[in-house]
Structure 1
């Protein structure tokens, strides 16, 4: 099949949005099938920044149809803001944006529940967008699917049942009850605005794939945030692996023929949780500042924690995702360094026999590389890269036993090289 999954190999924020934007030029459709508006993509086109949270960034290409799959959770207020923002820019969504009725509805009480949890003794460092509680309700069979939501009589009945259960739950946590009537009325209004986009498209895509149409599965977050195999409990609430993207789109795993894993030339994560290669204060002082490196969360605006590349964790991600090639981003952030480090193993040779729950206790074994001390921002072809950039990239390929397909060295579309 003519399909590719684009997945993050670290803790999210790897630059997937730019890669999706680039590859979607060749696609007929792009599918986002897990997570919610906790994800954030920033695309720069002709000097203008576009920020996406749920709508696939391929919506900027007029020929591409965009799909939000049944594995996602949807906040209608946030989605409406995205839609209105795109329409103000003259971007048409008519017959181009389709949302699965199997996706679940995020309601204000989900956000309230997450806020309470995050203010407790053991915060995860979530975006407080209600993503986790919505997935909890989905699994507990007390959630509301979008197909139920846009059928107003059904929504009224389901909301009455679900909100009463949620009220009792929140009251047991010491939270005063919320205004069910006001929420129902507001969300019934949202349903009338958004119902034109909600349609069961799963079989349509299946038939299109059989005809040879090209589709891209757009991953959100990253492998180390996977709900099952990430750095638990400091993870997201959905399956971020390539297999989860197919299932979340209502398709079988054979629907994905190629998987492109996206990684930064260093590591970052937002929120709490283990980070073996995190910079010391001295290393942070000599690295690029958060502003220079553009390391603020698109969704929360929080500073990202930063550190060296971690080969053992990347190998885990490549296995989990079935990665066939790599895209390495933000090489330009390393331009000023005289030397840099890459974690090639953990002390005691613990890779590959380690459990993610032990990641907080491992000690990295580093290999040092010479920097190149030259700007890469005007590079047009591989041969123009400084010698030490090429050595660095070659070593990454060798250490990961996976070919690099794309190299990115700036936020703009044109600052990308395709190597294969």
Structure 2
């Protein structure tokens, strides 16, 4: 009876996803706590190992120690492996292994993979998982070749070191992780289009979302055939990238500690790169701590929105943001239904978008308040850190290591919730789903 009840508890896909990511974090923490994982040959300590493993599995990029100087080659390989696992998703990898080993997928495995990859039909799970893995590896391979070639030719790295750097940063960029093997992230490459554009394109590709990518590859010449998901994702992504670039150009143009020290082409490149990274990548080619508070606020908004649904990115997702915009537009026009193009949005989708946003805003607000009470840092820096952790971004104003034990544990929790999703985590904690078999009388309530 006890064993049966345990399996009953794990029937909900969301529960298995949360447990899967939790198991990956635990395993990663144990590996990073080994003396062999550090350059000093001593254990990193449980908090540093836990924080780094969570940041890697949740593809965030926040760090309390310098990645290159603190971690050994073994530790860096572990981090890269955790990033790959977190980016593809525990259930996606599990389903792939099932296909390779047995050649068939059970019903429960299909349900789990469907929940992780956001596929619309369980019959497509096997094909989708294969496409996800192949597309991910192909993008990472292309980025790795370009980066390795640039490190070899442009910066005089040895062939082995160039290949190592190329592979590590290709994995980190496509999976929107933001881990870099230099203390200043990518600031030293701020004017190098080969490095910055390769990383930025990999981040965008990984942050669009696999359903959108597959549809674009299939019918990119026929936008009128695109689904509502693809239309909203592409439109909002383009708007945010353009708007973000213009905002950073306008705000930081004369800042001598960021864009002000660069020539005009490098300014545009750096502004575009800075607009791409809040999609939850976490690399930076400018010193974030030297930006104006107005730029921090703009970055907060971009990080909170994040990337596409079913992608390696975090945040509430551009789809959610776009859906809310259509809901507001329909309400302002007094329309009884929400329409996107020639399609009507079902009410459950609208409620999910509103619920996800409100839960996320509440979580960010409460976490900001708690972290303010725990640290001496100002609101701008604390809010930036909280949104970065929740959005699984990894950008920081430089206070991550100074938040203390309790503060770092709070950031660990935020990263985990941000990766698994507030609603996914909530449903995983709910042991039973309740359905109401009756409706109560309707009563109007004054709003506003």
Q: Same fold (TM over 0.5)?
A: no
- Determine which structure has the larger strand proportion and give its number: 1
**Structure richer in helix, relative to its length:** 2
TM class by shorter-chain length?
Answer: under 0.3
By relative contact order (CA 8 Å, sep 6+), the higher-ranking structure is 1
